[in-house]
């Protein structure tokens, strides 16, 4: 299936790699051209279509890792598997928590992440820090190339300038989103905008500074963004800006020590009123045609994956191939080779327990396969231990195969943000004291999710919905979507010993984690490149 919805191609990312190769915020990663073509120059801008191609390169960095196929990397010293944005985000938010186990602990960095024993030398942590800063550098470059002075010099038409205003807002949004993930995962970031010189050593923003910048930036660009549901698939609209704002407000007590649940509700209301609707089938969100099936109305922002044009070792390729069981060889069920990756991913038993009550037996969110497997994993290297999951598929909603003849690279876009999450955020923010929500709506939104999931317990009242219910329901609805670590931190269950899971802290049954693990360390390579960075406490 062809998914060229927004022109993310080799040439787009190639141009950006060449232009920002010396950007200070990524110099520790040594981003270098991997092609001997001429550097991007004024001749490129002879066509007014060049600006959209240049913007596509900013988006491309969220899916691609290099210019020479899915195994290439434009970051020296990091391979595609430890620097693909969606994949490292999944590892840091999900593999570090209570839902997933990666079998092959010789893969660099994975053992340390899933056992919560990481250090500043972990390549996955470096991959996330570096890839996010590459997006920031690409966005800054786009903004430098689209100033009024440059558009005047190139005699860009008035009609194109109106489009470029929208493009600029999108570049600023993608930059703000990168700072959001830096704020959440690291608590600080190298900070630069288009106003900084390319070779300038960046100043460093702390969590409060990042929070304030993200908030003000997303509000400033709102009027220039396209309306929700009015963009090409894969491009960011006002709905994405609202989603990031809702997220930072929901987590504001963690980030800046202030409750902003009313503001979270305000932006949830904006999203809910933006024309989105739940997919008719929960699993449509995780299939190869989720850009055209009923999920297209639910997914607010995807990370693009395509078995022909944007091949990558990103999260959906990992989770479709990795979810194939070593015993079951069930790859045909989800559109990959029969053996997949031989049992690479299994489930921690604490997640399985959330689906134990009989009301979840036929819940469509329950794609757990137990078979003859033991539920408990005592040896991570034994791929026959622990249950497996068939949530993600490389098949379409009609059962058609994906476009990769080798049955490896997924056509399934990763649903970074979707409406179901908004319903759950709305409910949580209300329970935490936010104003502006309607109690009846809280119950209705939860019941809509349960009705869609074919769950018989779909007539809950507001008295049935507690914070304990919400954290479990978020796991049932949003598992393997790169939210869990953030959720557990917000609920006070990630560090400490009040809630343990298998291999937490490197204990078979889990042990308490120290509080400093709520943040990841600043990579050693990044510290060496910018004297303004300081290591996070505890590392």
pLDDT band at 36 (very low <50, low <70, confident <90, very high): very low
Q: Which of the two residues, 302 and 6, has the higher pLDDT score?
A: 302
Q: By the 8 A CB rule, do 493 and 474 touch? A: no
pLDDT exceeds cutoff 50 at 70:
yes
206, HSE (Cβ side, Cα atoms, 13 Å)? 7
Supply the DSSP symbol for 345: E
Positive or negative CA dihedral for 393, 185, 64, 136? positive
Residue where the block lists tokens 């497997």:
373
As a whole number, mean pLDDT of residues 35-42 equals 51
Name every residue whose Cβ is closer than 8 Å to that of residue 425 and which is 6 or more positions away in sequence: 246, 247, 250, 264, 268
- When pLDDT is averaged across residues 76-92 and rounded to a whole number, the result is 90
Assess whether pLDDT exceeds 60 at residue 382: yes
- Calculate mean pLDDT across residues 133-143: 94
**Secondary structure class of 346 (helix, strand, coil):** strand
Residue that the structure tokens 């024309």 belong to: 275
DSSP 280: S
Name the average pLDDT for the chain. 92
Q: Average pLDDT of 336-365? A: 98
Q: Is the pLDDT of residue 352 over 90?
A: yes
> What pLDDT shows up at residue 40?
64
- 3-state DSSP assignment of residue 152: helix
Q: What is the pLDDT of residues 200-216, one digit of tens each?
A: 899 999 999 999 999 99
pLDDT at position 209: 98
Average pLDDT over residues 147-168: 97
Residues 6+ apart with CB under 8 A from 17: 31, 32, 33, 34, 67, 74
Residue 47: DSSP 8-state: S
CA distance 30 to 40: 19
Query: How many C-beta neighbours within 10 Å does residue 334 have?
Result: 24
Q: What is the mean pLDDT of residues 378-396?
A: 98
* Arithmetic mean of pLDDT, 143-151: 96
Maximum pairwise Cα distance, the chain: 69
Q: Could you tell me if 40 and 18 are in contact, meaning their C-beta atoms sit under 8 angstroms apart?
A: yes
């Amino acid at each position: 299936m062809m998914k060229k919805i927004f022109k993310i191609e080799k040439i787009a990312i190639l141009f950006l790699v060449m232009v920002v190769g010396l950007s200070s915020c990524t110099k520790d990663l040594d981003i270098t051209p991997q092609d001997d073509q001429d550097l991007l120059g004024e001749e490129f801008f002879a066509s007014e279509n060049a600006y959209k191609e240049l913007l596509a390169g900013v988006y491309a960095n969220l899916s691609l890792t290099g210019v020479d196929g899915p195994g290439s990397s434009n970051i020296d010293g990091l391979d595609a598997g430890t620097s693909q944005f969606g994949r490292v985000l999944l590892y840091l938010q999900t593999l570090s928590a209570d839902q997933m186990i990666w079998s092959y602990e010789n893969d660099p960095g994975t053992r340390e992440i899933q056992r919560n024993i990481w250090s500043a030398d972990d390549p996955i942590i470096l991959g996330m820090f570096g890839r996010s800063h590459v997006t920031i550098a690409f966005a800054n470059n786009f903004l430098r190339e689209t100033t009024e002075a440059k558009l005047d010099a190139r005699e860009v038409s008035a009609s194109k300038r109106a489009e470029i205003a929208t493009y600029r807002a999108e570049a600023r949004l993608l930059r703000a989103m990168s700072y959001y993930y830096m704020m959440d995962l690291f608590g600080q970031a190298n900070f630069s905008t288009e106003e900084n010189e390319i070779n300038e050593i960046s100043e460093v923003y702390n969590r409060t500074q990042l929070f304030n910048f993200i908030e003000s930036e997303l509000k400033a660009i709102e009027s220039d963004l396209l309306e929700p549901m009015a963009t090409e698939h894969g491009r960011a609209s006002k709905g994405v800006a609202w989603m990031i704002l809702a997220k930072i407000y929901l987590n504001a007590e963690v980030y800046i020590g202030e409750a902003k649940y009313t503001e979270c509700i305000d932006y949830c209301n904006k999203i809910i009123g933006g024309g989105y609707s739940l997919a008719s089938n929960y699993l449509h969100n995780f299939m190869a045609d989720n850009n055209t099936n009923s999920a297209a109305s639910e997914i607010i922002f995807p990370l693009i994956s395509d078995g022909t044009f944007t091949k990558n070792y990103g999260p959906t390729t990992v989770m479709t191939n990795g979810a194939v069981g070593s015993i079951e060889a069930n790859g045909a069920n989800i559109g990959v080779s029969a053996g997949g990756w031989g049992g690479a991913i299994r489930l921690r038993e604490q997640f399985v327990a959330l689906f134990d009550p009989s009301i979840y037996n036929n819940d469509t969110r329950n794609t757990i396969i137990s078979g003859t497997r033991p539920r408990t994993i005592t040896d991570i290297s034994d791929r026959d231990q622990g249950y497996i999951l068939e949530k993600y598929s490389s098949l379409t909603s009609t059962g058609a195969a994906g476009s990769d003849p080798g049955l490896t690279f997924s056509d399934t876009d990763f649903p970074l943000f979707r409406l179901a999450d908004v319903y759950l955020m709305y409910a949580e923010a209300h329970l935490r004291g936010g104003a502006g929500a309607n109690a009846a709506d809280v119950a209705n939104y939860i019941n809509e999710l349960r009705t869609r999931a074919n769950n018989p317990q779909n007539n809950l009242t507001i008295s049935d919905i507690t914070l304990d219910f919400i954290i479990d329901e978020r796991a049932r609805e949003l598992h393997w979507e790169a939210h869990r670590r953030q959720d557990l931190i917000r609920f006070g269950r990630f560090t400490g010993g009040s809630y343990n899971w298998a291999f937490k802290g490197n204990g078979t049954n889990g042990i308490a984690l120290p509080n400093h693990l709520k943040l990841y360390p600043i990579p050693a390579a990044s510290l060496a490149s910018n004297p303004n960075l300081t290591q996070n406490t505890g590392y």
